[in-house]
Amino acid sequence: MGAARPGPAALEIAPGALWQREALDRAAQEALVADIRAILAEAPLFTPTMPRTAKPFSVRMSNCGPLGWVSDASGYRYQPFHPETRRPWPPLPRALEALWTRFAPGAPPPEACLINYYAPDARMSLHQDRDEADFTAPVLSVSLGDTALFRIGSDSRRGATRSVRLGSGDVVVLGGESRLAFHGIDRILPGTSTLLAEGGRFNLTLRRVTA
Ligand code: MD3
Ligand code: FE
């Protein structure tokens, strides 16, 4: 926050992955956080577990939109209801639909928004997102709160990777070849944003799930 950053042009951080720094100003970030808090009041953060090992994720999650991503003993999947309350996910806020129109013009409407919350010590190991039936639509990521050290490689786990610091208000559009790229969050840089009173970071990913 605060410090000047280079201009409005998107940077291609991997083939097809466009990083738009400070796409959202402070007021837009605050409005989105208010939307997220209202969603979490209806669909609380839950702690997903790994299918094989039952090990808990350090990231806590919720969703909005018709479908939500969950992980538990039965595996990874999209489903239309919260795993604990069994209630339908809250609808997608209009502001997120507008971001999709702005950054993924022409793509079919998003069906899921995964909400990831990173406490200062949370991380996400290198993985691919391949639980969707449609890989032609991009994934759109919005970062809110503390800066994260994000790593992205290629569609091979052994390929070279590049790291970038995702700040609050940054948007990344993962399309084309990058849609199946390995990626993860190596760490959160605590105390780098004043957006969230509790600290840490929200990441929102808008996704098309069905073909
Ligand atoms: C590259 N989230 O939810 S966002 C995830 O910051 C996830 O919470 C991270 O990886 C986070 O699955 C990274 C950037 C991102 C999101 C989706 C992608 C990069 C991606 C899908 C395909 C390729
Ligand atoms: Fe991912």
pLDDT at 174: 98
Tell whether ligand 1 has an atom less than 6 A from the beta carbon of residue 144: no
Tell whether ligand 1 has an atom less than 6 A from the beta carbon of residue 113: no
Answer CATH for 11-207 from 3.40.50.970, 1.10.3720.10, 3.30.565.10, 2.60.120.590: 2.60.120.590
pLDDT at 8: 64
By the 8 A CB rule, do 111 and 92 touch? no
> What ranges do the domains of the chain cover?
11-207
In whole angstroms, give the CA distance from residue 142 to residue 29: 10
pLDDT at 2: 36
In whole angstroms, give the CA distance from residue 123 to residue 27: 27
Compute the radius of gyration of the chain from its Cα atoms.
Answer: 16
Residues in the chain: 211
Nearest residue CA, atom 10 of ligand 1?
A: 184
pLDDT at 21: 98
Indicate which atom in ligand 1 lies nearest the CA of residue 69. 3
Tell whether ligand 1 has an atom less than 6 A from the beta carbon of residue 29: no
Q: For the chain, 211 residues long, give each residue's pLDDT as a single digit of tens.
A: 334 444 568 999 999 999 999 999 999 999 999 999 999 999 999 999 999 999 999 999 999 999 999 999 999 999 999 999 999 999 999 999 999 999 999 999 999 999 999 999 999 999 999 999 999 999 999 999 999 999 999 999 999 999 999 999 999 999 999 999 999 999 999 999 999 999 999 999 999 999 9
- pTM for this prediction: 0.96
Nearest residue CA, atom 17 of ligand 1?
A: 139
pLDDT at 9: 82
Indicate which atom in ligand 1 lies nearest the CA of residue 116. 8
Tell whether ligand 1 has an atom less than 6 A from the beta carbon of residue 32: no
Three-class SS state of 52 = coil
From 61, 67, 141, 172, the mutation candidate for ligand 1 (largest count of ligand atoms within 8 A of CB) is 141
